Amino acid sequence: MTSHPSVVERLDRLAPDQRSAATAPPGPLLCVAPAGSGKTTTLVARIAWLVDGGVAPAALSAVTFNKKAAVELAERLD
């Protein structure tokens, strides 16, 4: 099993705008930004934050722009 950073550690690594997106109230959230801006990192932090707050993982759905990002997202959440 891989060791993952805590939710607080993940949030501390984000820029203010990323942190706002990651900690937005539960519900649909669209994150549109240029390549390399940290969308996947923000999405991983949001999922961790939601699960830590009691949202069941099975209740979450994440969509990426391409397969590479989807693979990276799955690896980071594993």
Name residues whose C-beta falls within 8 Å of residue 70's C-beta, 6 or more positions apart in sequence.
Answer: 64
User: What b/e sequence results for 19-39 when a residue is b if at least 16 CB atoms lie within 10 Å of its CB, and e otherwise?
Assistant: bebbeeeeeeeebeeeeeebb
How many residues in the chain? 78
Give the pair of three-digit tokens for residue 25. 């109230």
Reported confidence tier of residue 1, pLDDT bands at 50, 70, 90: very low
Name residues whose C-beta falls within 8 Å of residue 44's C-beta, 6 or more positions apart in sequence.
Answer: 10, 73, 76, 77
22 alpha-carbon distance from chain centroid: 6
Note the pLDDT tens digit of each residue in 22-41: 999 989 988 889 988 998 89
The domain segmentation of the chain, as residue ranges, is: 7-24+34-77
Reported confidence tier of residue 3, pLDDT bands at 50, 70, 90: low
Stretch 49-62: mean pLDDT: 93
Per the CB < 8 A criterion, the answer to whether 9 and 41 are in contact is: no
